[in-house]
Amino acid sequence: MSKKILKAGFIGCGGIAFQKHLPAVKKLSNKVEMTAFCDILEDRAAKAAKEYGTADAKVYVDYKELLKDGSIDIIYVLTPNVSHSQITVDALEAGKHVMCEKPMAINSAEAQKMLDAAKRTGKKLTIGYQNRFRADSQQLYKACRNNELGEIYFAKAHAVRRKGVPTWGVFPDKSKQGGGPLIDIGTHALDLTLWMMDNYKPKLVVGSSYQKLKDKPGGNMFGPWNPETFETEDSAFGYIKMDNGSTIFLEAAWALNMIRPKEAQVTLCGTEGGAEMFGQAFLDKGYVIFNSEKYGQLVETSPSEGGGVAFFEGGGLSAADAEAIQWIDAVLNDTEPMVKPEQAIVVTQILEAIYKSAETGMPVTF
């Protein structure tokens, strides 16, 4: 693309917009102008426009009206999961490149419509799996590509909170989100795992889901939820066998009685060694411990604790900032985004299979 300054429109001005995308894109004012904001609640769109938009930024309540603006190059789809597919398809058809928040869609059929539209229009489409951009994720990914773990034949995808049920927005509303922790945070852990393994060919899935703590809202980090409106699972688990014989175990929970939760992290076991993510990854404070055998001994390799310099915390990018930079540069330079829709759709297919298996009590084969 020859344009040096892109114009961006944002559809959905809720929590994920204000917490992640709007602040990150604002830092790229030399590459992007934030010119249009849409939300079904006009005051939220107006607030976003006032805080982040250009002086002449426009506010909409109907996203189709926003898409009529021919000057807009890219669209951010930041709405509840159920509307990801339709809005993305419409935006692609309107000639816009699209960054859609995770998950790609509520099911594989809806995700396929998005992928087909991207191929048909030639416009770029990416999904908001920002955890790939963390420093610990990048380190582990490079180790995997360098074959330091050998053949990775077993992995765990971790997305477990002790009591961290989101009580805002529409998170517990199954009709709008398509599910609970599995589709919300499990999607991040599964994306990381498939990406590390470079394996996108599932063969068989067995899943279980539970709603055991619905009536026990005490101790939740976001305040007690309303049991009467808690429609989704509180935890879900999947056994995934890949076409090459490797195995993935996925655990996802907003609420699970365990002492040491792990979120958006992976454990990898290979023929030459293994690796496990630790720390507060969702706060960009994660790290990797590698394990292997050397000189006849079992060894672990941990990050250095050399410390920083007084009054200086370092210049590392947050995952959200790194994601925004990579996406905008991909559009400007006509390169591939790091998160490809062909990868994201496999995540959706597997999550859908876990839900189906949990509901029917039967395995799902591909």
How would DSSP label each residue in 240-279? EEETTS-EEEEEEESB---SS-EEEEEEEEESS-EEEEEE
Q: Which residue has the higher pLDDT, 172 or 99?
A: 99
Q: Which CATH class is domain 134-316+347-365?
A: alpha beta
pLDDT above 80 (res 1): no
pLDDT band at 315 (very low <50, low <70, confident <90, very high): low
Cis check for the bond before 202: say yes or no (omega within 30 of 0): no
Q: Residue 310's pLDDT is what? A: 52
Least confidently predicted of 97-106, 154-163, 277-286, 310-319: 310-319
CA 261 to chain centre: 18
Instruction: Please give the average per-residue pLDDT across 316-320, as a whole number.
Output: 88
Using an 8 Å Cβ cutoff, are 67 and 95 in contact? no
Instruction: Please give the average per-residue pLDDT across 83-103, as a whole number.
Output: 98
pLDDT above 80 (res 364): yes
Q: Residue 309's pLDDT is what? A: 47
pLDDT tens sequence across 257-283 = 999 999 999 999 999 999 999 999 888
pLDDT band at 308 (very low <50, low <70, confident <90, very high): very low
| Fold of the 6-131+321-339 domain | Rossmann fold (3.40.50)
pLDDT above 70 (res 168): yes
Least confidently predicted of 52-56, 158-162, 178-182, 281-285: 281-285
pLDDT tens sequence across 3-45 = 689 999 999 999 999 999 999 999 999 999 999 999 999 999 9
Number of neighbours of residue 224 by Cβ within 10 angstroms: 13
Whether 6-131+321-339 shares its CATH topology with 134-316+347-365 is answered no
**What are the sequence ranges of the domains in the chain?**
6-131+321-339, 134-316+347-365
pLDDT tens sequence across 118-154 = 999 999 999 999 999 999 999 999 999 999 999 999 9
pLDDT above 90 (res 256): yes
Q: Residue 306's pLDDT is what? A: 53
Q: Residue 180's pLDDT is what? A: 95
pLDDT above 50 (res 312): no
CA angle 119, 106, 235 (to 5 degrees): 140
Q: 157: buried, middle or exposed (CB in 10 Å: 19+, 13-18, 0-12)?
A: buried
